[in-house]
């Protein structure tokens, strides 16, 4: 017995418990490719860790380091004058002309999220490496590397702290004085590196705008008035050995333990503030470094863990018994992709989505971008910006329901900024005097104009002014989950109203007397007219109208909650009933286009016509069964093979159709193993899925699929609106027994449940602010009324 205990203790000590983990990503080798790295972040600073033995590369990002400067929203002041001619062409069914003219309603493209730099630790202890181990523990947001050389065990521990705004790397060796290494700093941007007072310092500037090849022109360094500055400061605290330095490196010789402090900052001070004149980087980085350097490793670590767990621990999930073997995460994913059961991997993926949001979304006005905040590229895919026709919104689908409401605030901050630039966009591009509009892309400068480089690019994606309508629904979601009336009153409602005002001004009457948008596009699909024209510009696209329905519906609800603006509410109510109604096509599908035209690509990744089913909620199997059935048919026609984010969306759509098994089938496909983009193998595994580090593969890496997939897990377990909570609405057969704690529901409730043999056993509902809701499980309903802070437990 004693022996057994010892064996067990050894396993625990090595961090390699045999039950496969719900909270650890681990590997037996360092990362070679970006999609194998382990990422850390505090919502502002991001670190991408390779964990190499001889050279450990760490990419550093600051979420506020972007190319460009505050946008001049008035960039195409007469663009709106083209709208009547486009409408006329559309009225005459001259789609080719309308498409051409639509290009005149374009502005500049978005700016790009910039990589700050790379920190490299060059290890002086060379030799034969054994027992290599690398992990990221998402229960405490700490990554670790360990290995042995000639009998000496080396360990590294990495975390990025939010309370202390610092990255910490603790290096240690099991043998006294066996640790020696050097650190260097470099950047793909303009930079200068110096070592001063044993601090390795790098200063530089982001490019003023994205240009071909993304070259940062040297003269920008000397133009004081332009561009965001950045700084990175690195200092080492040693217990023994000596600190060494050259003019470009900092190191330690013959130590047993050393702690590396990494502080970064930028001069970004707001979307409308010149980052060169009014902001500084180095003094902020210095001040954070000095404060943190005075604290011990243990103190920093416990503050970091407490801060992170405050969010992480709010939700737990258990999916019942599993027989999957314990494997490194890359092998585990491969095994799962072969169809094997691994419930704890599914939990890990869900919690990893939450981990990524906590780590990337804590900077007001600067939400998680296309790659969260982990970007090593000068010229990242799609500029790593905010694409508003799905991607940035999908990033936030899990924020409220998985109990991370605070992480939603950065997006709500961007919406507020967009309402400022968007007022100019509404007037100058669309001729609408009231309200605000945003278009296909945005960036840290809250750019709201339609993109396309002033007429150079395809209207299929560049010309789409409905982002304000879509984004405004996030404000309602934040309110309806948190019941934060002050936020709605003081800030949220006016933003919603502004988005609705633009829509009111943008709608026109069609030949049947109904209201439609014109011009319209349906992100980013194209139609084929009966005479063979393939285009994007049309009138009355279903997606536009679905977003307007949601925007109006939620704005009406918000005005009722606040008991204000009765006249405006009346106008929205009147307009809602005049919108061109949904059409069911000859194939039984929900029509995407005004007419029952063919799609250029019937399997297209976007499904904006289903917006009302998810993320909206005006289509449901109970309220609108015909439209729900047509939505199902649409999804069937599209098939399940698609990009990462699109799979994430479809899983949520199937969940909303209460088809748990189909949702689960697609969830498994979202977790299909995908090789790193640059890895050369005979039979590369590509397509939408998941990379070895559990990053979502569009491909390339986009974080939206991670967030959409995690949100869908919650959506399969709990669905809600302001009046009701549906329990286990889309439970797949594979999740026969399990329990969940802390899922949030609209109305300000928190739900925990246990189920067995696919049957609900117990449910507990906690009310944040007091209120009434109806619990629905299958055919059974139960009304509950709770006081603020009250919790009710029911044996169902």
Smallest gap from Cβ 523 to ligand FUC, in A, equals 7
Smallest gap from Cβ 635 to ligand FUC, in A, equals 17
Among 643, 752, 767, 773, binds ligand FUC (CB under 6 A): 643
Question: Residue 391 interacts with ligand FUC (CB under 6 A)?
Answer: yes
The strand pairing partners of 590, in sequence order, are: 584
Encoded one letter per residue, x for contact with ligand FUC by CB under 6 A and - for no contact, window 445-474 reads: ----------------x-------------
Could you write out the three-class secondary structure of 688-754?
CEECCCCCEECCCECCHHHHHHHHHHHHHHEEECCCEEEECCCCCCCCCCEEEEEEEECCCEEEEEE
Nearest residue to 702 (alpha-carbon basis) of 690, 711, 713: 690
Structure letter (DSSP) for residue 105: S
Closest CB to ligand FUC among 649 and 664?
A: 649
Closest CB to ligand FUC among 135 and 524?
A: 524
Cα 752 to Cα 771: distance, rounded to the nearest angstrom: 17
Question: Residue 702 interacts with ligand FUC (CB under 6 A)?
Answer: yes
Closest CB to ligand FUC among 351 and 607?
A: 607
In this structure, the chain runs to a length of: 796
Question: Residue 695 interacts with ligand FUC (CB under 6 A)?
Answer: no
Closest CB to ligand FUC among 118 and 646?
A: 646
Cα 666 to Cα 664: distance, rounded to the nearest angstrom: 5
Smallest gap from Cβ 356 to ligand FUC, in A, equals 17
Residue with tokens 């605000």: 436
Closest CB to ligand FUC among 332 and 698?
A: 698
Smallest gap from Cβ 646 to ligand FUC, in A, equals 7
Cα 753 to Cα 764: distance, rounded to the nearest angstrom: 6
Closest CB to ligand FUC among 382 and 493?
A: 382
Closest CB to ligand FUC among 102 and 428?
A: 102
Closest CB to ligand FUC among 106 and 391?
A: 391
Smallest gap from Cβ 489 to ligand FUC, in A, equals 34
Residues in region 645-674 near ligand FUC by CB under 6 A: 645
Structure letter (DSSP) for residue 590: B
Smallest gap from Cβ 605 to ligand FUC, in A, equals 6
**Cβ(484)–Cβ(506) under 8 Å?**
no
Residues in region 505-564 near ligand FUC by CB under 6 A: 524
Encoded one letter per residue, x for contact with ligand FUC by CB under 6 A and - for no contact, window 336-375 reads: ----------------------------------x-----
Smallest gap from Cβ 117 to ligand FUC, in A, equals 25
DSSP states of 487-545: HIIIIIHHHHHHHHHHHHHHEEE-TTS-EEESSB--TT--EE-TT--EES-BSS-HHHH
Q: How many residues bind ligand FUC (CB under 6 A)?
A: 11
Question: Residue 442 interacts with ligand FUC (CB under 6 A)?
Answer: no
Backbone angles phi, psi at 459, to 5 degrees: -60, -20
Among 57, 144, 698, 746, binds ligand FUC (CB under 6 A): 698
For CA atoms 523, 529, 534, 539, the dihedral sign is: negative
Encoded one letter per residue, x for contact with ligand FUC by CB under 6 A and - for no contact, window 593-632 reads: ------------x---------------------------
What tokens appear for 311 in the block? 């969010």
Query: Is 465 strand, coil or helix?
Result: coil
Smallest gap from Cβ 702 to ligand FUC, in A, equals 6
What tokens appear for 21 in the block? 């983990």
Backbone angles phi, psi at 201, to 5 degrees: -120, 135
Smallest gap from Cβ 704 to ligand FUC, in A, equals 7
What tokens appear for 241 in the block? 């050995």
Encoded one letter per residue, x for contact with ligand FUC by CB under 6 A and - for no contact, window 368-387 reads: --x-----------x----x
Residues 6 or more apart in contact with residue 344 via CB below 8 angstroms: 19, 20, 21, 22, 319, 322, 324
Q: Where are the alpha helices (DSSP H) in 223-274?
A: none
Smallest gap from Cβ 219 to ligand FUC, in A, equals 32
Q: Cis bond leading into 519, ω under 30°? A: yes
Smallest gap from Cβ 461 to ligand FUC, in A, equals 6
Closest CB to ligand FUC among 501 and 524?
A: 524
Residues in region 236-275 near ligand FUC by CB under 6 A: none
Smallest gap from Cβ 249 to ligand FUC, in A, equals 38
Cα 744 to Cα 24: distance, rounded to the nearest angstrom: 25
Smallest gap from Cβ 643 to ligand FUC, in A, equals 5
Q: Cis bond leading into 49, ω under 30°? A: no
- Cβ neighbour number for residue 2 with a 10 Å cutoff: 5
Residues 6 or more apart in contact with residue 65 via CB below 8 angstroms: 113, 114, 116, 206, 228, 230, 266, 268
Closest CB to ligand FUC among 698 and 726?
A: 698
Rule CB under 6 A: which residues touch ligand FUC? 370, 382, 387, 391, 461, 524, 605, 643, 645, 698, 702
């Amino acid at each position: 017995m004693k022996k057994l205990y010892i064996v067990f203790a050894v396993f625990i000590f090595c961090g390699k418990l045999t039950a496969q983990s719900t909270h650890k990503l681990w590997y037996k080798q360092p990362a070679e490719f970006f999609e194998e790295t382990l990422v850390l972040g505090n919502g502002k600073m991001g670190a991408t860790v390779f964990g190499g033995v001889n050279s450990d590369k760490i990419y550093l990002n600051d979420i506020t380091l972007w190319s460009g400067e505050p946008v001049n929203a008035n960039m195409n002041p007469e663009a709106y004058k083209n709208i009547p001619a486009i409408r006329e062409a559309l009225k005459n069914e001259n789609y080719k002309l309308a498409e051409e003219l639509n290009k005149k309603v374009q502005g500049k493209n978005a700016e790009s999220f910039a990589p700050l730099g790379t920190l490299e630790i060059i290890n002086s202890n060379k030799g034969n490496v054994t027992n290599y181990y690398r992990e990221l523990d998402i229960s405490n947001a700490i990554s670790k590397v360990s290995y042995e050389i000639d009998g000496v065990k080396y360990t590294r521990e990495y975390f990025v702290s939010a309370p202390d705004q610092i990255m910490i790397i603790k290096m240690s060796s099991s043998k006294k004085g066996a640790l020696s290494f050097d650190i260097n700093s470099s950047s793909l941007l303009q930079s200068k590196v110096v070592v001063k007072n044993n601090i390795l310092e790098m200063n530089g500037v982001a490019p003023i705008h994205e240009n071909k090849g993304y070259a940062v022109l040297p003269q920008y360094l000397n133009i004081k008035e332009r561009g965001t500055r950045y700084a990175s400061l690195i200092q080492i605290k040693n217990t023994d050995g000596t600190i060494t330095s050259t003019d470009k490196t900092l190191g330690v010789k013959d130590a047993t333990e050393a702690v590396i402090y990494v502080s970064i900052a930028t001069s970004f001070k707001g979307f409308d503030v010149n980052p060169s004149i009014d902001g500084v980087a180095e003094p902020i980085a210095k001040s954070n470094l000095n404060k943190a350097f005075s604290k011990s490793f243990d103190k920093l670590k416990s503050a970091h863990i407490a801060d992170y767990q405050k969010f992480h621990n709010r939700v737990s999930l258990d999916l019942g018994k599993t027989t999957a073997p314990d494997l490194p995460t890359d092998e585990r994913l491969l095994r799962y992709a072969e169809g094997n059961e691994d419930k704890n991997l599914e939990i890990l993926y869900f919690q990893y989505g939450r981990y990524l949001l906590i780590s990337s979304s804590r900077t007001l006005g600067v939400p998680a971008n296309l790659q969260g905040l982990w970007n090593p590229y000068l010229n990242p895919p799609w500029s790593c910006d905010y694409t508003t026709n799905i991607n940035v919104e999908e990033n936030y689908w899990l924020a409220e329901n998985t109990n991370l409401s605070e992480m939603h605030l950065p997006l709500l901050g961007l919406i507020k900024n967009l309402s400022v630039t968007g007022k100019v966009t509404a007037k100058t591009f669309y001729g609408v005097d009231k309200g605000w509009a945003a278009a296909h892309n945005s960036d840290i400068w809250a750019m709201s104009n339609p993109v396309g480089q002033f007429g150079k690019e395809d209207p299929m994606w560049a010309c789409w002014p409905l982002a304000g309508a879509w984004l405004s629904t996030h404000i309602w979601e934040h309110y309806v989950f948190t019941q934060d009336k002050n936020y709605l009153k003081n800030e949220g409602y006016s933003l919603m109203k502004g988005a609705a005002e633009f829509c009111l001004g943008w709608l026109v009457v069609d030949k049947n007397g109904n209201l439609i948008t014109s011009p319209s596009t349906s992100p980013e699909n194209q139609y084929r007219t009966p005479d063979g024209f393939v285009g994007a510009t049309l009138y009355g696209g279903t997606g536009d109208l679905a977003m307007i329905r949601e925007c109006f519906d939620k704005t009406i609800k918000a005005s009722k909650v606040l008991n204000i603006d009765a006249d405006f509410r009346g106008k929205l109510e009147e307009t809602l009933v005049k919108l061109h109604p949904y059409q069911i096509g000859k194939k039984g599908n929900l029509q995407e286009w005004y007419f029952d035209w063919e799609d250029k690509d019937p399997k297209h990744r976007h499904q904006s016509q289903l917006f009302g089913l998810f993320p909206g909620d005006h289509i449901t199997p109970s309220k609108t069964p015909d439209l729900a059935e047509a939505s199902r048919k649409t999804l069937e026609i599209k098939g399940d093979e698609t990009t990462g984010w699109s799979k994430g969306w479809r899983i949520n759509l199937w969940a909303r159709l209460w088809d748990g098994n189909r949702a689960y089938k697609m969830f498994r496909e979202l977790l299909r193993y995908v090789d790193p983009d640059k890895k050369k193998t005979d039979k590369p595994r590509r397509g939408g899925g998941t990379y070895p580090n559990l990053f979502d593969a569009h491909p390339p890496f986009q974080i939206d699929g991670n967030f959409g997939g995690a949100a869908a897990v919650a959506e399969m377990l709990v669905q809600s609106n302001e009046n009701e909570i549906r329990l286990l609405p889309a439970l797949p057969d594979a999740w026969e027994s399990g329990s969940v704690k802390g899922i949030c529901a609209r109305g300000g409730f928190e739900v925990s449940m246990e189920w067995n043999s696919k049957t609900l056993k117990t449910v507990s509902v906690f009310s944040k602010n007091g209120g009434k809701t109806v619990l629905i499980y299958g055919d059974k309903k139960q009304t509950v009324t709770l006081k603020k802070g009250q919790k009710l437990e029911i044996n169902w």
